Amino acid sequence: MRSPADGLEPMLEADLDAVVELERGIFRHPWNRRAFERELGGHPLSRSWVVRDPQAGVVAYACAWHVAGELLINNIAVAATHRRRGLGRALLARLLDDARRAGLERAVLEVRVTNAPALALYAAHGFRSIGRRRRYYSDGEDAWVLAASLSPAAAGPGAPGTDGAAS
């Protein structure tokens, strides 16, 4: 049985067609190809990952920045056909682990107030609301601003990127 982290690799330029197609199928107001090209084009702050399925190709991705001591999570997306398999959790864990290893202090993101699955995922990783952005999305929906400490103590014993046993 495959682990959710199997197939998790850095995003490559060759992944862009699949990533853009996935983005368009998931989000009401998707990023365009140029946005992803900028993420991959040597942007020094950018960290982008994909999950590749042996049969289906790219089925999930995440984009984030390491900036000013923080991990800014821009996007995590999983194909509808591959949800509830731990792929979003694996991508988020990779982003958080990498940020801890880089010495970043906290993670920050915005999420639609109606995105219950994402809110549950983030809460399970220690994210808490620090604000609300009114009419943040182009359709007028609000966003919660969430943050989580990246200190080893906040990660919990045995969490990736800590001195615990699991890694």
Active-site positions? 110, 122
Both tokens of residue 140? 């007028």
CA–CA separation, 58 and 158 (whole Å): 29
Q: Are 60 and 80 in contact (CB under 8 A)?
A: no
Which residues lie across from 131 on neighbouring strands?
145
Both tokens of residue 104? 């970043």
Q: Are 79 and 25 in contact (CB under 8 A)?
A: yes
Expressed in angstroms, the distance from the first to the final Cα of the chain is 19
Beta strand 143-149 with 106-112: parallel, antiparallel or unpaired?
A: antiparallel
Both tokens of residue 27? 């989000």
Distance from chain centroid for Cα 40: 15
